[in-house]
Amino acid sequence: MTLAERIKQEAQRLGFDAVGISRIDGSPQPSVLDDRPRPFHQLLYDRLCAWIERGYHGAMAWMERAPHRRADPGSVLPGCRSIISVGMNYGTGHRADESPGHGRIARYAWGRDYHGILQAKLEQLEALIRTLAPNACTRWYVDTGPVMEKAWAQQAGLGWIGKHSNLVSARYGSWLLLGEVLTTLELEPDEPGTDLCGTCQLCVRACPTGAITEPYVVDARRCISYLTIELHKPGDEIPVELERTLGNRIFGCDDCLDACPYNLAAQPTQESAFQPSPLTLAPSLSTLETMSERTFQDTFRLSAIRRAKYSGLLRNVRIARRNAQSPSRSPSDRPFSANMS
């Protein structure tokens, strides 16, 4: 068994549903932006800069910082030669209870915070690599560092980048959360994933705010996930003209992911920590609206929902209540039409 095979076997034993390896090399690759082939990390840099120049990152100032570092794993881990990308299936097969009076929480936040779940497994994987190759340097991330995780997961064969810009897996559909270990080891790479979107545009059409401005590109400033989670600093307001598009969504949004036909064959997760609680499956707006900050901290201690902060979640709940009271604020009233170019 090669070192790469041994590492992938261990990743599966630890409970990762998908694992693959990509190599950092400087060979030129065709570009989707123009006809100048260049190394993959250079392509990522150009895409990232184009995205930032359009202002699509909104108030996420950390996305602007050192784009060359975010695009090039070699500047995050000097001497980085390979990336071991991992994915965990969080699809549970449950449906949210959207009867009147309930808000909606994005699926990735139904169970325990995925950062902790993946972190524990990534640390174990890193420990195994250290045993097998004591001289290797490694560094893991799960949404926690300057690494473009979707692109590397696609290069490692975990799936392809769908037109909603997330990684889609033929086996798990839209429901993979990603992490990775960067390493100085030269590991045998897997084949990159092939784009199977074809002429489908379902996710682009499903977006209630037109945030998918063109296939594969999301303007975060219009994305309900950004509005309900990332806009949480004092003074951050959800633009009034976008409020009604939130409908009953109080944390994140799954509309573009839900629309994907590759979910039809997706298998439910084996990980009990991703299972929803009654609160996350059917969050009562009136209960949440009267929740104290102390109760918020206690209730969401182990949940990704903490990221919205108390004031952000309550603001979202108030908007959802107003939307429920006024039919003209229903999400089907789409003020934006997606650009289908």
Q: Which residues belong to the active site?
A: 143
Stretch that binds ligand B12, among 19-27, 73-81, 215-223, 322-330 (CB under 6 A): 215-223
Question: 173 CB contacts (<8 Å, ≥6 apart)?
Answer: 91, 260, 262, 263, 264, 265, 266
Taking the least distance from each CB to ligand SF4, the nearer of 21 and 161 is 161
> Which of ligand SF4, ligand B12, none binds 167 (CB below 5-8 Å, type-dependent)?
ligand B12
CA–CA distance, 308 with 235 (Å, rounded to integer): 14
Q: How far is CA 13 from the centre of its chain?
A: 24
Per-residue x/- track, 236-275, ligand B12 (CB under 6 A) = ----------------xxx-xx------------------
Judged by DSSP in three states, 156 sits in coil
CA–CA distance, 26 with 226 (Å, rounded to integer): 34
253 binds ligand SF4 per the rule CB under 6 A: yes
104 binds ligand B12 per the rule CB under 6 A: no
Contact between 282 and 102 (Cβ < 8 Å) = yes
164 binds ligand SF4 per the rule CB under 6 A: yes
Taking the least distance from each CB to ligand SF4, the nearer of 209 and 303 is 209
336 binds ligand B12 per the rule CB under 6 A: no
Taking the least distance from each CB to ligand B12, the nearer of 136 and 148 is 148
Spatial CA neighbour of 170 closest among 274, 263, 268, 270: 263
Binds ligand B12 (CB under 6 A): choice among 11, 129, 142, 246: 142
Name the residue whose CB lies closest to ligand SF4: 162
> Which of ligand B12, ligand SF4, none binds 220 (CB below 5-8 Å, type-dependent)?
ligand B12
117 binds ligand B12 per the rule CB under 6 A: no
> Scanning residues 54 to 93, which ones bind ligand B12 (CB under 6 A)?
60, 63
212 binds ligand SF4 per the rule CB under 6 A: yes
Binds ligand B12 (CB under 6 A): choice among 5, 50, 196, 267: 50
156 binds ligand B12 per the rule CB under 6 A: no
> Which of ligand B12, ligand SF4, none binds 255 (CB below 5-8 Å, type-dependent)?
ligand SF4
Judged by DSSP in three states, 195 sits in coil
Q: Which residue type does 42 have?
A: Q
Binds ligand SF4 (CB under 6 A): choice among 11, 21, 125, 168: 168
197 binds ligand B12 per the rule CB under 6 A: no
CA–CA distance, 278 with 194 (Å, rounded to integer): 38
22 binds ligand B12 per the rule CB under 6 A: no
Spatial CA neighbour of 81 closest among 155, 218, 227, 189: 189
How far is residue 319 from each of residues 172, 235, 242, measured CA to CA in Å? 33, 16, 10
122 binds ligand SF4 per the rule CB under 6 A: no
- Tokens (6 digits) for 51: 């995205």
How far is residue 301 from each of residues 85, 154, 178, 306, measured CA to CA in Å? 27, 32, 22, 7
How far is residue 81 from each of residues 12, 90, 137, 139, 341, measured CA to CA in Å? 22, 29, 10, 12, 37
CA–CA distance, 117 with 121 (Å, rounded to integer): 7
Binds ligand SF4 (CB under 6 A): choice among 223, 229, 266, 319: 223
Taking the least distance from each CB to ligand SF4, the nearer of 92 and 213 is 213
> Which of ligand SF4, ligand B12, none binds 216 (CB below 5-8 Å, type-dependent)?
ligand B12
